[in-house]
């Protein structure tokens, strides 16, 4: 395989606008995946396929954070006013309370940071990639330009669903070759990164009001702040039906109640897709 070169920032393509074949061509990868030797060489050259982790705050910073409160400002101002008035005991008492509060707050935040770090280490997420003609499970970040196998509801390397076109492009493969209508929900982070795609149910969207709760089961369980609802039209026409519109209104109302953002509802068909947000139906 020819040597892979990283495109410069000025020449970097708009990844969200490329088709699957174009992306494979730019990355010099293929649907059958990389060889183990090529993957190792790319990882050594480009580093892990992961965002840099922010280091946890240290104890001094946590201690200083405890003073970033209007109430603390008022107490410290009261202590300063008490000093020229000769109320030294009152000033000392106020300062002692503020310092004791800062120590307790620091201890609690430090414990919470440690617990969060321990929980993160317990999360053993894996992705499946195609490597040497077969499939291999590995940790996210170890897949440099690999072809990732991402069935429904499996965690996948982060993808941005910032536009209806990007949402349709990412979600369309989940509906490929289906001959019946199915509904899926894409769980998103606050920055619209794809967390998972969850199967909700199969069958006509008409009469879906009795199943609205099913749309939110995984979103609530995983604490996803935003979702994209997607379903297919096997007929080939992506135009939203009256039933699609009514169901979307009910989903939006439920989202407002649950505090979950409905980023879009995308209808996918062989001839294209329709975005409720683009059509002004959200």
User: pLDDT, tens digit, for every residue of 167-189?
Assistant: 888 888 888 777 788 888 999 88
- The tokens for 102 are 């800062």
β-pair type (182-188, 226-232): antiparallel
Q: Among 89-93, 121-125, 264-268, which is the least confidently predicted range?
A: 121-125
β-pair type (261-269, 226-232): parallel
% of the chain residues with pLDDT over 70:
72
pTM beyond 0.75: no
pLDDT value of residue 189: 87
Cβ-Cβ contacts under 8 Å for 169 (sequence gap 6 or more): 16, 19
% of the chain residues with pLDDT over 90:
11
Bridge partners, 129 (sequence order): 136, 148
Alpha helices in the chain (DSSP H): 20-27, 36-46, 59-65, 70-82, 88-122, 164-171, 212-221, 242-258
pLDDT value of residue 182: 87
pLDDT value of residue 33: 72
CB < 8 Å & 24+ apart, contacts of 243-247? 243/204, 243/205, 243/206, 243/207, 243/208, 244/205, 245/276, 245/281, 246/209, 247/205, 247/208, 247/209, 247/212
- Is the CA virtual torsion 271, 203, 175, 191 positive or negative? positive
What count of residues does the chain have? Answer: 282
Please choose, from the candidates 109, 131, 101, the residue with its C-alpha nearest in 3D space to the C-alpha of residue 29: 131
Max CA pair span of the chain: 85
Number of H helices, E strands in the chain: 8, 8
264 vs 282: CA distance, rounded Å: 7
CATH 3.40.140.10 positions along the chain are 150-275
Mean pLDDT of the chain: 77
Q: For residue 10, is pLDDT > 50?
A: no
Residue with the bigger pLDDT between 20 and 282: it is 282
pLDDT value of residue 221: 83
Residue with the bigger pLDDT between 265 and 17: it is 265
pLDDT value of residue 212: 73
Residue-wise pLDDT tens digits, 48-106: 766 666 777 888 888 888 888 888 888 889 989 988 888 888 889 999 999 998 899 88
Please choose, from the candidates 216, 282, 224, 217, the residue with its C-alpha nearest in 3D space to the C-alpha of residue 252: 282
The three-state secondary structure class of 196 is strand
Cβ-Cβ contacts under 8 Å for 17 (sequence gap 6 or more): 165
Other CB atoms closer than 10 Å to residue 238's CB: what's the count? 19
Residue with the bigger pLDDT between 43 and 17: it is 43
279 vs 282: CA distance, rounded Å: 8
DSSP conformational letter for 35: -
**Residue whose token pair is 């010099």:** 28
Contact 177, 60 (CB under 8 A): no
Residue with the bigger pLDDT between 180 and 158: it is 180
CB < 8 Å & 24+ apart, contacts of 57-62? 57/113, 59/106, 59/110, 62/105, 62/106, 62/109, 62/110, 62/113
Reported confidence tier of residue 126, pLDDT bands at 50, 70, 90:
low
CATH among 3.40.50.800, 3.40.140.10, 3.30.450.370, 3.20.10.10 for 150-275: 3.40.140.10
Q: For residue 190, is pLDDT > 90?
A: no
pLDDT value of residue 100: 92
């Amino acid at each position: 395989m020819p040597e892979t070169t990283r495109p410069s920032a000025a020449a970097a393509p708009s990844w969200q606008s490329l088709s699957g074949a174009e992306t494979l061509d730019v990355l010099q990868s293929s649907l059958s995946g990389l060889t183990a030797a090529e993957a190792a060489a790319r990882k050594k050259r480009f580093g892990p396929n992961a965002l840099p982790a922010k280091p946890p705050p240290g104890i001094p910073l946590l201690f200083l954070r405890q003073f970033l409160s209007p109430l603390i400002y008022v107490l410290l101002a009261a202590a300063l006013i008490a000093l020229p008035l000769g109320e030294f005991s009152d000033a000392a008492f106020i300062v002692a309370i503020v310092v004791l509060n800062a120590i307790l707050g620091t201890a609690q935040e430090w414990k919470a940071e440690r617990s969060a770090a321990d929980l993160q280490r317990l999360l053993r997420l894996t992705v499946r990639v195609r490597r040497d003609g077969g499939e291999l499970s590995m940790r996210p970040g170890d897949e440099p330009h690999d072809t990732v196998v991402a069935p429904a509801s499996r965690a996948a390397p982060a993808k941005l669903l910032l536009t209806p076109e990007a949402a349709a492009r990412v979600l369309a493969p989940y509906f490929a070759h289906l001959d019946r209508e199915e509904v899926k929900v894409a769980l998103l982070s606050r920055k619209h990164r794809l967390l998972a795609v969850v199967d909700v149910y199969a069958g006509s969207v008409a009469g879906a009001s009795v199943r609205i709760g099913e749309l939110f089961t995984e979103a609530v369980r995983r604490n996803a702040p935003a979702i994209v609802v997607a379903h297919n039209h096997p007929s080939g026409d992506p135009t939203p039906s009256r039933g699609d519109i009514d169901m979307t209104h009910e989903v939006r109302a439920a989202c407002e109640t649950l505090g979950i953002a409905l980023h879009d509802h995308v209808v996918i068909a062989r001839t294209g897709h329709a975005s409720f947000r683009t059509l002004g139906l959200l």
